[in-house]
Amino acid sequence: MVKDLEQYSAWRHGVMSALKRYQAWIASAELADAATEQRLARTLARLSDDKLSVAFVAEFSRGKSELINAIFFADYGQRILPSAAGRTTMCPTELLYDPAWPPCIRLLPIETRAENLSTSDYREQASAWTMLPLDLEAPESMHDVFRQVCLTRHVSVEEAKRYGLYDENDPDMAATLDDDGLVEISLWRHAIINFPHPLLKQGLVILDTPGLNAIGTEPELTLNLIPHAHAVLFILAADTGVTKSDIEVWRQHIGSGAGRLVVLNKIDSMWDELRSDEEVNSAISRQQEHAAHMLSLEPRQVFPVSAQKALVAKITNEAGLLQKSRLGELERALFDELIPAKKDIVRKQLAHDLHTLSSAQQALIGARMRGIVEQLHELKSLRGKNQSVIAHMVKRVEAEKKEFDSSLFKLQATRAVFTRLSTELYTNMGMDILRDHVLAVRDAMARSRFTLGMREAVKAFFAGIRQDLLASEHKIDEIRDMMDVMYRKFSAEHGLSLAPPMAFTLDKYRDEIADIEDIYDKQFGTMTLLTTSRVVLIERFFDSIASSVKRCFKAANADAEAWLKVIMAPLEAQIRQHKEQLKHRQASIQRIHDATDDLEQKIEAFEQSQAELEQLKVQLSELSGAISIAINAEFVELDAAA
C-alpha cells in the first residue's frame, strides 16, 4: 500500500516538475501572461493539495475501527484507533497529515450543533476546536488521546433535541434514555487526527464514521465527506448479516458506484474446529452470496475478512493467519481500484489544462512569427527600390497603424459592455444573493414549526439557486458571443490568428447543486416529513446544505473570474504583439528610408529572429511533450523520482 501511494505521489511530483519547467521556460521566453500564470498556479496548487480519501461506514460493533487498524496501522505493533466491543468511535473522525499542524487531535465540541454552521464552516475557525498534542514517542499516551473519540456525556432530552440528536416521535428513542431520563451523546461533533503516518503523508485521508445513525444526524457526512470519498468501504458483520438499517443506508447514502466496496467482517466467528475447512468456507460463501443478493451486487463485490485476526497476524508475523483472514484480497481490490480511478480523474483535468496552455503559447509564437515574416517580406521587397517607393511604404504602414488604433478605440466600447456583463454575471451568482436565499429559508423555518412548511422553504431555496445559475449561464453565453464577434472582427481586419474564445459552462456546479438536493430529498422524503417530527434535524441539515452550496458558489465564482481573465487574454496579447510589430515595421522602414545601407543588416537580423522563433516552437513542443509523458506515465521509478 505504501509503495502504491508512493508511486502515485511520485507520479504527481513528476507532473509538477514538468509543469514547473514549462512555467520557468515560458517566463524566460516572455510567453507568459496573467491568465497563463493563473492557470499554471491553480493546476500546481491542485496537484500539490491532491488527496485520496477512503471512508469506512458501518453500524456499531461491525469491527470498523479494527479494520482501519489492520489495513493501515498494523506496522505500529498495536491498535491506533480505539477498538472494543460495543460502540467506540462516537464522532466522525478524519485521519490525515498536514505539515502545517503539529501531530495532534483537533476536536469540535458537540455544542456547535446548536449553531447555524456546518462542520466545514468551522474548519477555518481554529478557536472553535480543542487541540490535544500527540506524543509520537509514547504510544500508550497517544492511544489515550485517541480515546477522545469514544467519550460521551449525558444530557437532557431538551438539550439533545436542540442538537438534533433526539426525535421524540421515534419509538426507539425512549429506550435510549437512562434511569435519570438523560440521553447519551458524543462529547465531540468531529475529530481531525493529524498523524505523520507514511500513508497519510502521501495524501491519504481516512474517514471513520460513528455508526449508521450518525449518517442521518450529521449532515456533513451525508452531504460532503461520504459522497466525495474516492472509496467507501461498507462493513457488515458475518454473524449478523445484512440488517434493515444496512440496506437503507446502502441505498440512500452509498450505492454501488465506482470505489464502493462491501466488507463482510468477523468471518472468524464462523471458524469452527469441529468442521472441515471446506464446510467453513462454504458457510462463509453462503453469507457472502446472501449479502450480495440483499445489496443487489455480485458476490465478488463482497469481501469476507477477519479484521481482528488480520491485525494480530500482521503484528505477530503469522503468514498463515493473515492468509486465512483474507485481508489481502480486500487490500488489493481497494488500492487497485482507488488509485487508478483517482489518477484517471486528475489526468483528464491535466490534459485539458495542458491543451489550453500550449494553445495559448503556440498562438503567441505564431503571432510573432507572422509579424517577422511580414516584415521580412516588406524589407526584401525594398531591395533596389528608390526613395519614393520606400516613402510610399512608410505612409502605408502609418495608415495601417492609424486603422489599428481606430479599432482599439472601438475595443474600448466593447470593454465597457464586457465589464457591465461581468458585473451582471457576478450579481446573479454572487455570494450576496446566496446569503439572501439562505436568510429567506431560515426566516421561513422560524415561522413554520411544521416539517412540511420547512420542506417547501428548502424546495424554494433550490429553485431559486437553479434560477440564479441559469441566469448566470445566459450571461456567460452573452459574453462569449460578444467576444466571438470581436475575435472574428480583429482576425478578419488585421490578420490576427485567434482561435474561438475559450468555452465555459456552469454545468458542473448545477450538477453539484442537483446532487445536494437529491441527498436532501432522500433524507427527508415527503412521507417521512408527514409522519415524523424532525424540525431541529432539518434545521441542522439545512446548515450543511447552505455551507455546501456556499462552497459550490465560491468555486463557481472563482472559475468564472478566471475565465473572464482568460477570455480576454489571447486577444489582448495578440493586440499588444501586433501593435509592437506595427511600431517596429514603421521604425524599420523609416530607418531604411533614411539610410538604405541598413537594409541588408535589417533583413539579416529578422532572419535570425525567425530562426530563434522556430527554435522556440521546438522547445515549446518538447516541454509540452514532457508534461504529456509525465501525465500518461503508468509507472514511476521511486529512486529516479526522489
In this structure, are residues 641 and 7 in contact, taking their beta carbons and an 8 Å threshold?
Answer: no
- HSE-CB at 608 with a 13 A cutoff on CA atoms is 6
Predicted pLDDT at 392: 67
Burial class (CB within 10 angstroms; exposed 0-12, middle 13-18, buried 19+) of 113: buried
Predicted pLDDT at 46: 83
In this structure, are residues 58 and 207 in contact, taking their beta carbons and an 8 Å threshold?
Answer: no
How many CB atoms neighbour CB 511 within 10 A?
Answer: 11
Longest dimension (CA), the chain: 113
Predicted pLDDT at 530: 43
∠ CA 129-134-136, rounded to 5°: 160
Nearest to 620 by CA among 16, 11, 27, 47: 27
DSSP state of 241: B
**Residue 190 in grid coordinates:** 468531529
CA separation, residue 195 to residues 120, 132, 135, 146 (Å): 20, 12, 10, 11
| Domains of the chain, each with CATH number or no CATH | 51-151+187-325 (3.40.50.300), 384-594 (no CATH)
Kindly list the strands in the beta sheet with 260-265, ordered across the sheet, starting from the edge strand earlier in the chain.
130-133, 104-109, 188-194, 93-96, 204-208, 52-58, 231-237, 260-265, 302-304
β-pairing verdict for 183-186 and 52-58? unpaired
CA dihedral 565, 566, 571, 573 (to 10 degrees): 90
What's the rounded Cα separation, in Å, for the pair 291 and 289?
A: 5
Predicted pLDDT at 201: 86
Tens-digit pLDDT profile for residues 512-561:
899 888 888 877 655 454 444 456 667 777 888 888 899 899 989 988 88
For the chain of 642 residues, list the mean pLDDT of each consecutive stretch of 10.
78 89 88 78 84 85 87 79 67 89 93 84 89 84 83 88 76 77 89 88 86 63 76 88 84 74 92 87 92 90 93 93 93 80 81 80 79 77 64 70 69 80 87 89 76 79 92 91 81 67 84 87 59 57 85 89 77 67 69 62 82 87 87 63 44
What's the rounded Cα separation, in Å, for the pair 363 and 367?
A: 6
Q: At what angle do helices 327-381 and 599-632 cross, to 10 degrees?
A: 170
Nearest to 480 by CA among 552, 465, 472, 469: 472
Instruction: Provide the residue count of the chain.
Output: 642
Phi first, then psi, for residue 236 (nearest 5°) are: -110, 170
Predicted pLDDT at 282: 93
Predicted pLDDT at 310: 94
Predicted pLDDT at 386: 58
In this structure, are residues 232 and 259 in contact, taking their beta carbons and an 8 Å threshold?
Answer: yes
In this structure, are residues 46 and 349 in contact, taking their beta carbons and an 8 Å threshold?
Answer: yes
β-pairing verdict for 260-265 and 302-304? parallel
What's the rounded Cα separation, in Å, for the pair 236 and 246?
A: 8
Amino acid type, 311: L
3-state DSSP helix/strand/coil percent for the chain, to nearest 5? 70, 10, 20
In this structure, are residues 14 and 7 in contact, taking their beta carbons and an 8 Å threshold?
Answer: no
In this structure, are residues 304 and 267 in contact, taking their beta carbons and an 8 Å threshold?
Answer: yes
What b/e readout covers 326-342, taking b as 16+ CB neighbours within 10 angstroms? bbeebbebbbebbbeeb
DSSP state of 181: S
| HEC string for 266-303 | CHHHHCCCCCCHHHHHHHHHHHHHHHHHHCCCCHHHEE
Predicted pLDDT at 527: 46
